[in-house]
Structure 1
């Protein structure tokens, strides 16, 4: 992996709290300074690679981020930057405040303690599949646990 214009200085990143386990390591909520505008803080998701990961796994982790650099679609979580220098490597992504689709849908069940009324999910999500197809991209693990829900229910 060669650092490029997506590289972000580690000093601009602050970890706030743990969100969950990702395929390569932990995912945290964080703050990034200066990603959108100079001096402005942006809430982000920070994917990390496990400290016990092999060099091959670390490279795969950064290569996954490289693939995301090409995507510009409202229905694909947006890559905001990469911290490849030092350990752990971080992939900085748009924060999806409502979590994964599987957990979100389970929270809507009538027996859920704090279920939400109705399900205002986006009806435009099917536009995602022609977009991925046009970009010759195959996800290989498309499941509700890997679909994220944004603040506006997209």
Structure 2
């Protein structure tokens, strides 16, 4: 119930004057309950510090819309990424599929992120490929916590 934009933030990451970020917004038409859930997810994210969980960099709550600033995962969600690798009809080739080693590595990264959330007493309510994000270097991170 919102949009995600790419932007540049200044001073949100130590030793980086400018950082490419993802900016998540809540729709202006969202109900008060949805707005509260949006902020609750940001509040929960603030507590997490794991290489396989998308990092919250900040929240802008003055004015409208409220903005949640997160690390940018340039390759998008895992579901879309994997679908983009599907061969087109008549072009079946095993070369377009990620190697098994890479797929197992991705699964391990998701498991690591989930183990971290579990160790921090957080129950993820909607783990799915659409809620895992892929970074520029192909690292996979839990990016949506099933709250919004």
TM norm structure 2? 0.79
Call closer, same or farther: CA 1:38–1:152 in 2, change over 3 Å.
closer
CA contact (8 A) 2:2 2:26 kept: yes
Call closer, same or farther: CA 1:148–1:83 in 2, change over 3 Å.
same
Q: Secondary structure at the match of 2:8?
A: strand
Instruction: Quote the Cα distance in structure 2 between the aligned partners of 1:117 and 1:74.
Output: 27
Q: Which of residues 49, 54, 65 in structure 2 aligns to 1:77?
A: 54
Instruction: Quote the Cα distance in structure 2 between the aligned partners of 1:39 and 1:127.
Output: 27
Deviations 1:57-94 (A, max 9, x none): 21211111000011111110000000011000000000
Provide the residue aligned with 2:136 in structure 1.
151
Q: Which of residues 22, 26, 33 in structure 2 aligns to 1:56?
A: 33
CA contact (8 A) 1:122 1:153 kept: no
* Structure 2, gaps ≥5 residues long: 140-148
Counterparts in 2 of 1:1-154, with a 5 A limit? 24-37=1-14, 40-111=17-88, 117-119=96-98, 120-121=102-103, 123=105, 124-125=108-109, 126-154=111-139
Higher relative contact order (CA closer than 8 Å, sequence separation 6+): 2
Q: Secondary structure at the match of 1:148?
A: strand
| Aligned-pair Cα RMSD in Å | 2.2
Higher helix share: 2
